[in-house]
Amino acid sequence: MVINKFAVLLVILGVSCCICSAEQAGGIRGYVEDKDFDAPVAEAQVLIAETGEKTKTAEEGNYVFSELKPGTYTLIFSKQGYTRQVKTDVAVSPGRMSEVNVSLSGDFTEMEEFVVQDLSFGAGTELALLDLRMEAPALMDSVSSELMSQAGASDAASALKLVSGTTVQDGKYAVVRGLPDRYVNSQMNGVRLPTADADKRAVQLDQFPSAVIESIQVSKTFTPDQQGDASGGAVNVVLKGIPEETSFKFGIGYDYNSNVFNEDDFLSYDGGGLDSLGNRSISVPSIDSMDDTVGTATEDAPQEYSFSLSGGGKHAFAEDVKIGGFLSANYKRSASYKHDMIDDKYWVEEPGEGVTPRYNDKRGGGGGGPGTGRFETSLFDVKQASQQVQWSTLATLGLEIGTHKFNALYMYTKTAEDSATVSEDTRGRAGLHQFWPDAYGPEFDNYDPYDEHHPANDKEYQDHAAYQRHQTLEYTERTTETIQFSGDHKFEDLSWELTDWFSFKPVELDWVLSRNTAAMHQPDKRMFSARWTAPYYVPYQPPTFWPSPSPEVPAHTEPGRYEQLNPAANMNMGNFQRTWKDIIEESDQYSANIKLPFEQWTEDEGYFKFGIFNDDVTRDYQQNSFTNDSTFVDSDPGLSWDDYWSDYFDEPLKVSGVDIDFIADQQISAFYYMADVPLNSQFKLRGGARFESTELSSHITDAGPSAQVYIPQTGDISQSTDGAEFYSLARAEFEQDDTLPSFGFEYAPFEKIKVRGSYSETVARQTFKELVPITNQDYLGGDIFIGNKDLQMSALENYDLRFDYTPYEGGLVSATYFHKDITDPIEYVQGYANFTYTYPVNYPEGEIDGFEFEIRHELAEFFEDMEGVSVGANATFINSEVTLPDDEAAKLDTPNIQAPMKTRDMTNAPEYLYNLFLTWDFNESKTQFGLFYTVRGDTLVAGASQAVGNYLPNVYEKEYGTLNMSLKHKLNDTWSMNLKAKNLLDPEIESVYRSDYIDGDVTKTSYTKGIDLSVSLSARF
């Protein structure tokens, strides 16, 4: 079916190509003169807004654009000392030159404000988005497709980093002003999309390739026409619309990553890898029919490449009737390899002492621990390789009848990722003396696992920090599908005049209906864990006769062997686990907005606006897992550490019995009103309120015989065998109604300066996973998560103040202050009930504030020789704090912890962010160059806690920067070549334990991504 879709699409695009190729190019030429002196104006800039193409007038005032596609264009004429002039609807016909002559007036301060009506820049240009920034009722920052291309951004997630005050978590999720995914509303064309993420209600932005994106708009203040959970911001991915002129575009590229290229030990597994479209339909099999692949293998690294096709246009059937369409297909194959990664877990066992490796809690249940018995540490060296196929299709159909527009949009994205991971702990055993000098002497240094006479290999110490190896094979398909119908209407007959000083302009209506589906298919995720004990020497033992007889034991060496390493005992799992997981989330959504524009007593325009919104979401979660028996199993003796037990493992599997399937529903309904009222030409007031209702519920549909529900607050435990009691205890329901006000002002004391301020109230919601009180363990040995059915929504009060100065077209100087007070912020804490688990709670309060600064300049405004050079910078400085609940604070102030803490930073809120960029447009050589540097400051990723009576310090991700470069050269009127280099500095990305109660930072994780290079060729017909 997918292949058929592609075939149809390729045929349509091929036909479009033929049609477009038949059209001749046209051009625009003209003359620019001084209106006051009738003299030619030299060195005036002429810009085509839709394409970004620029030129300068000659000494005689002449200019020319050749080889333009037939269509309608907007020309912008500008020069310092003159008032900018705009010519709209400039028609270019095939094989003809259009004449456009203009007269520029001197820009004197006593002149009245020059206003251009019906100006529409190309929506994907920086000029258009700067205009939108200044006119939008909310504080808005954006990034255009133009800047995305120059920065080498491949998808929406990487492009979002270019926006001031924003970053991305886990490479997928938007973080705005330090507030993570639950505080950020992500949309596509204004439609809230579902997500199949198992842990979050956040849209994975890496699904949307930059080739289909016109712009990304981030509203950082809440207005009533936005959804109520846009607390940190609303991220709207605006897709490319129907082009005015018929066009066809084709591109192909080849990619290189320094960690991947030419690797012959790239991690994979038998039966692994990806087919061309990322399809792997593996239904849940019977136990007897499962294949026998358990662990990883190596192979040659895959190739990385991409291609894209797009085409479309409009056709006028009558004076006021236009029909158009746009089709796009994108394909990308990529890979990554982290072969230098470490993942260490530490804690503080004695207050005031340094950190030691975190080990399992068998000390509490089995008498183990350093110096006394069996234990395993967690100091892992990790290799992780993944390969990815990503493809998408986009189809748009539009109809324009006068001032009425109708659009239908269909988009389908698919991302398939296959990864293999090996993590090994050998440093724990090698560091026994370093970490526990009272229990192990210096003879344990310089450990050799193959020296049976080494003191650490004595039989007495065999179980002390034995070597470990964990292997994970994971294949995941993610899809998003959306069908959107929308309309935009302007009713010219619905306008009326109330008085001589107040009249209503034509009423405007827009609406959207959408059906959206997100799915995650994870067939046969495999996890295998083992511990290895080294060979040891057994000296000669003579026979004994009393008190009990024993035979003579000759001197010999006991061979090394593998043993089963099980996860937390409560999960009833062995050391090999296979899991099938499916998540489908569906959303039916509609919205409608009525706008009543008016003109008041000073002839300034404002509006009243009303609207409704409804979103019904259903999530279906299903999981089936299998495991071997959890009783003791060891390998055949004689296997060395270099031999992988997974290559020989053949233990039978059984149904795990711990799986739980559930269905969850969320309904958000709302209506709002708002007004934008100019009191005079300098001062506006904005305000209104949104009335929003939230209903959340979840119930278990199926459960294995060993599944359990646990309520951390009360300690109540129920097994699925308890029947109705189990299902009742697991059911979660939540309802809340909110009134969310928003008030703001805009003051323009001078033509080029605006000051805006706002106050608003918003909310943040729980995720489905956070409400369901079942024990979740994503993989063997992984952290156990338990939902909290009593979890409440968070409430926020938001304050914003912004100053904008636009000295000239394209220039910007901006400063913003923001402050947010949060009631009941949702944070994660750790608990213990014969096993360690994580669960969500509401902290009492939190706050976050900070400053944003942004500057953009065209250097030609200051230095004539710097024509075409643009520079920009933005920086955000964030302070955040949450107050710990009394019971959590008390856990850190006990005699065995002695690390008192009442407040801490918010998780995922970086201390600072900044971006620097330089672009250079060489008009004469038709070459564009871009350099982009982004930095994210230190960020708390996990707050301090305690486990088994030991202190776990805060975990921070350290600052790191990314340098990207792009070079684009237009070979001729059709073909262009692009060279992109990303992550040129290839910094070490590191997280550390950090606390006032330990001596300095201690590394927790560290890895590098490698340098990415790509070369591509594109053609536009």
72: domain CATH number is: 2.60.40.1120
What integer pLDDT is reported at residue 10 of this predicted model?
41
Q: In DSSP terms, which residues pair with 326 in a beta bridge?
A: 312, 396
Looking at the fold, whether 233 and 138 belong to one and the same domain comes out as yes
What integer pLDDT is reported at residue 863 of this predicted model?
86
112 pLDDT more than 80 = no
Segment 202-231 shows an average pLDDT of 85
pLDDT band at 783 (very low <50, low <70, confident <90, very high): low
What integer pLDDT is reported at residue 304 of this predicted model?
93
Highest mean pLDDT among 80-94, 283-297, 318-332: 318-332
Considering the domain boundaries, does residue 986 fall inside one? no
What integer pLDDT is reported at residue 1 of this predicted model?
41
- pLDDT tens by residue, 349-408: 999 889 999 987 543 344 568 888 889 999 999 999 999 999 999 999 999 998 999 999
Considering the domain boundaries, does residue 716 fall inside one? no
- Among candidate residues 668, 670, 729, 658, the one with its CA nearest the CA of residue 698: 729
What integer pLDDT is reported at residue 113 of this predicted model?
32
DSSP tag of 259: T
Considering the domain boundaries, does residue 7 fall inside one? yes
What integer pLDDT is reported at residue 407 of this predicted model?
94
Segment 937-951 shows an average pLDDT of 90
Containing structural domain, residue 150:
126-243
- pLDDT tens by residue, 548-579: 888 888 999 999 999 988 765 445 578 898 99
What integer pLDDT is reported at residue 128 of this predicted model?
56
Looking at the fold, whether 91 and 38 belong to one and the same domain comes out as yes
Structure tokens belonging to residue 740: 């969310």
Question: Of 104, 134, 158, which residue constitutes the final position of a domain?
Answer: 104
Looking at the fold, whether 91 and 143 belong to one and the same domain comes out as no
455 pLDDT more than 50 = yes
Do the strands 45-48 and 54-56 form a parallel or antiparallel pair, or are they unpaired?
Answer: antiparallel
Which residues have a Cβ under 8 Å from the Cβ of 8 and sit 6 or more positions away?
Answer: none
CB 241 within 8 A of CB 450: no
CB 825 within 8 A of CB 846: yes
What proportion of the chain, given as a percentage, has pLDDT over 90? 47
Question: Of 195, 213, 243, which residue constitutes the final position of a domain?
Answer: 243
Considering the domain boundaries, does residue 295 fall inside one? no
Rounded to whole angstroms, the Cα distance separating 375 from 850 reads: 46
Q: Is the peptide bond before 547 cis (omega within 30 degrees of 0)?
A: yes
CATH, residue 160: 2.170.130.10
23 pLDDT more than 60 = no
Segment 716-721 shows an average pLDDT of 75
Considering the domain boundaries, does residue 902 fall inside one? no
What integer pLDDT is reported at residue 782 of this predicted model?
57
Segment 632-649 shows an average pLDDT of 86
Q: Give the total number of structural domains in the chain.
A: 2
Rounded to whole angstroms, the Cα distance separating 242 from 394 reads: 11
- pLDDT tens by residue, 471-522: 999 999 999 999 999 999 999 888 888 888 899 999 999 999 999 999 999 9
Looking at the fold, whether 23 and 97 belong to one and the same domain comes out as yes
The average confidence (pLDDT) of the chain is 85
Q: In DSSP terms, which residues pair with 798 in a beta bridge?
A: 760, 820
Whole-number Cα distances in Å, 559 to 428, 439, 542, 731: 21, 25, 21, 52
pLDDT band at 130 (very low <50, low <70, confident <90, very high): low
The structure's pTM equals: 0.83
Of 277 and 95, the one with more pLDDT: 277
Segment 9-28 shows an average pLDDT of 49
Segment 616-638 shows an average pLDDT of 86
Rounded to whole angstroms, the Cα distance separating 694 from 189 reads: 23
Looking at the fold, whether 131 and 58 belong to one and the same domain comes out as no
Looking at the fold, whether 232 and 141 belong to one and the same domain comes out as yes
Do the strands 605-628 and 561-564 form a parallel or antiparallel pair, or are they unpaired?
Answer: unpaired
CA 326 from chain centre, in angstroms, equals 27
- pLDDT tens by residue, 601-619: 988 899 999 999 999 999 9
- Among candidate residues 499, 668, 661, the one with its CA nearest the CA of residue 580: 661
Looking at the fold, whether 15 and 64 belong to one and the same domain comes out as yes
How many residues are given for the chain?
1021
**Among 109-123, 332-346, 721-735, which is the least confidently predicted range?**
109-123
DSSP tag of 114: P
Looking at the fold, whether 131 and 83 belong to one and the same domain comes out as no
Q: 974 by DSSP, 3-state: which?
A: coil
Structure tokens belonging to residue 651: 């233990």
Considering the domain boundaries, does residue 584 fall inside one? no
Question: Of 216, 243, 270, which residue constitutes the final position of a domain?
Answer: 243
Which residues have a Cβ under 8 Å from the Cβ of 774 and sit 6 or more positions away?
Answer: 660, 662, 700, 707, 708, 709, 710, 730, 786, 787
Rounded to whole angstroms, the Cα distance separating 243 from 11 reads: 20
CB 398 within 8 A of CB 404: no
774 pLDDT more than 70 = yes
Considering the domain boundaries, does residue 53 fall inside one? yes
Looking at the fold, whether 174 and 215 belong to one and the same domain comes out as yes
pLDDT band at 6 (very low <50, low <70, confident <90, very high): very low
- pLDDT tens by residue, 221-263: 899 999 999 888 888 888 888 887 788 999 999 999 999 988 8
User: What's the chain's Rg over C-alpha atoms?
Assistant: 32
Considering the domain boundaries, does residue 321 fall inside one? no
Q: Buried b vs exposed e over 259-282: b needs ≥16 C-beta within 10 Å?
A: bbbebeebbbbeebebeeebebee
Q: 164 by DSSP, 3-state: which?
A: coil
Sign of CA dihedral 426, 429, 433, 435: positive
Which residues have a Cβ under 8 Å from the Cβ of 944 and sit 6 or more positions away?
Answer: 892, 899, 901, 904, 951, 952, 953, 954, 995
Looking at the fold, whether 79 and 25 belong to one and the same domain comes out as yes
Segment 271-283 shows an average pLDDT of 82
pLDDT band at 129 (very low <50, low <70, confident <90, very high): low
Looking at the fold, whether 97 and 133 belong to one and the same domain comes out as no
Looking at the fold, whether 166 and 62 belong to one and the same domain comes out as no
What integer pLDDT is reported at residue 15 of this predicted model?
37
CB 798 within 8 A of CB 817: no
